[in-house]
């Protein structure tokens, strides 16, 4: 493991810990806050369907099924999952990109990581010069930039 990879992995782990990114579902009402109109429409539609089910002589015995399916199928709106960031996912295009997005291209690295790379004696001068050029050109670096910095020197 290279020094840049080690520093990058440590930064990712700190970020995961700080933001509680552990792939576990947590109950949250953020869906209601973010989409109040959709929430009301969803329940209004369910209520209208419930009225039809209750009034129908064929379906009236299945009210419990209707309620149960509604609760089951809409329950996931009340859970949020914060996916873990992983070093191995950087520059990997697979199904996880649909869920996580390309976080490594959109998320800026903390200035502390850049300082640690520049201060490390185990990082080559060539890599440090390349990092300085990237900082001048881009001003803000992403996780992918640091990842590519490590791969360019290899």
pLDDT in tens, 34-57: 899 998 998 898 889 888 888 888
Output the CA angle 25-7-106, nearest 5 degrees: 55
Task: Say if CB 122 and CB 87 are below 8 A apart.
Answer: no
pLDDT in tens, 90-143: 877 666 556 666 778 888 899 999 899 899 888 888 888 998 998 899 888 888
Please determine, for residue 154, whether its predicted confidence score (pLDDT) is greater than 60: no
């Amino acid at each position: 493991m290279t020094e840049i990879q080690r520093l990058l992995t440590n930064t990712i782990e700190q970020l995961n810990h700080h933001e509680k990114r552990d792939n576990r579902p947590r109950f949250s009402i953020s869906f209601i806050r973010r989409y109040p109109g959709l929430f009301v429409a969803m329940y209004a539609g369910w209520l209208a369907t419930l009225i039809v089910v209750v009034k129908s002589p064929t379906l009236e015995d299945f009210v419990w099924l209707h309620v149960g399916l509604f609760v089951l199928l809409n329950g996931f709106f009340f859970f949020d999952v914060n996916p873990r960031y992983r070093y191995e996912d950087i520059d990997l295009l697979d199904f996880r990109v649909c869920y996580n997005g390309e976080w490594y291209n959109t998320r800026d690295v903390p200035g502390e990581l850049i300082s640690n790379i520049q201060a490390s004696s185990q990082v080559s001068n060539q890599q440090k010069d390349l990092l300085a050029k990237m900082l001048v050109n881009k001003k803000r670096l992403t996780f992918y930039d640091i990842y590519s910095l490590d791969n360019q020197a290899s």
